[in-house]
Structure 1
Amino acid sequence: MKRINSILLSLGIVVIGIIVLFLCVYLLPILAQEAATVHPEVAYLQYPILLGLYATAIPFFYALYESVSMIYVIERKSLFSSSIIKGLNYIKYCAFIIIALYVAGFIILDTANAFPPIMAVAGVVIIAVSIMVATGAAYIKNILLKFPLSNQQ
């Protein structure tokens, strides 16, 4: 049963990654082109915004990779492994990078007076989720560090 749970969890993470990759490759350029045609006064920001969104996808995919690798470590070794602590740190850092990139994007778009409200709502949601992920990873890491076995492996 444990193996089935690991496979299902890994499969769920891979499906999330495929969905986000599809959105990045196919849907985001279409939406950017449509936004540029609807609002030609800010069409010059089409590619910088796309570049910023792609930049946030890199730490997201790395965090997904770390999640899958942590599942395999837990399955093969132990929950109390130093590589689990490292993986949680990497996930936390990825969340902080995503937060920093979105805050920088907010500041840049606000100074250019090209900050649509729907983008603000989506960005705030992504920042809130990233804060929750970073907090959760830090909390789990601190719990694992309290166990004496986690420092031995």
Structure 2
Amino acid sequence: MKLMSTLFLKIAVVLLGFPVLAICIFLVPELGDVSSELLPDVAFIQYLVSAIFYASAIPYFFALFQAFKLLRYIDKNEAFSDLSVKALRKIKYCAITISGLHVLVLPLFYLFAEIDDAPGVIFVGLIVPFASMVIAVFAAVLQKLLKEAIDIKSENDLTV
């Protein structure tokens, strides 16, 4: 049963990479073109926006890889190990990095909302940074709980 549940989660982790890959291939170049139309005075804005979105994809895929490794540790009965704590720490840092990079693009969402007269666009721009920070906090809490569980386990192993 445990192998089947981790298999489902491994498949889910792999499938989570495809939408972001599609966004990087199809949507990011369009966002760069839109940003150059919004700010024609700033020549490099198209490349800056594209670079920020592509740069945020790197920690995303790295976090997915760490989640996959964490599921492998669970399969090997090494869930309560320092390797799991390190994987959670890396996931936390990746989520913070993604959030920080997407906060850099928020002024572009503001400009688009001003031109289109749609203030809800700003809230759309806040979805990714907010979700990333929630993931970072969740990973930090899990990391702390796992570290405490490992400490308790090692104390119990010493008393026996």
**C-alpha distance in 2 between matches for 1:85 and 1:97:** 18
Q: Does the aligned pair in 1 maintain the 2:35–2:49 contact within 8 Å? A: no
Look up the SS of the partner of 1:79 in the other structure: coil
Shift of 1:37: 7.7
Shift of 1:142: 1.3
* Structure 1 gaps, min length 5: none
Match of 2:153 among 146, 149, 152: 149
Q: TM-score, normalised by structure 2?
A: 0.79
Rg: which structure is higher?
A: 2
**C-alpha distance in 2 between matches for 1:143 and 1:128:** 23
Which structure ranks higher in relative contact order (CA pairs < 8 Å, sequence separation ≥ 6)?
1
Distance 1:42 1:6, change over 3 A: farther
Match of 2:138 among 100, 114, 136: 136
Amino acid at match of 1:149: K
C-alpha root-mean-square deviation of aligned residues, in Å?
2.6
Matches within 5 A, 1:4-23: 4-23=4-23
Look up the SS of the partner of 1:80 in the other structure: coil
Distance 1:36 1:92, change over 3 A: closer
Cα deviations across residues 24-76 of structure 1 (Å, max 9, x unaligned)?
0123213433x258647367322210111111111111001000010001111
**C-alpha distance in 1 between matches for 2:154 and 2:101:** 33
Shift of 1:5: 1.0
**C-alpha distance in 2 between matches for 1:150 and 1:59:** 32
How many aligned positions are there?
Answer: 147
What is the aligned partner in structure 1 of residue 93 from structure 2?
93
What is the aligned partner in structure 1 of residue 117 from structure 2?
none
* Structure 2 gaps, min length 5: 114-119
Q: TM-score, normalised by structure 1?
A: 0.82
Cα deviations across residues 80-114 of structure 1 (Å, max 9, x unaligned)?
1111100000011111111222233336x59xxx7
Distance 1:43 1:18, change over 3 A: farther
**C-alpha distance in 2 between matches for 1:78 and 1:29:** 42
Distance 1:106 1:30, change over 3 A: closer
Larger mean CA deviation between 143-152 and 53-62 belongs to 143-152
**C-alpha distance in 1 between matches for 2:52 and 2:40:** 19
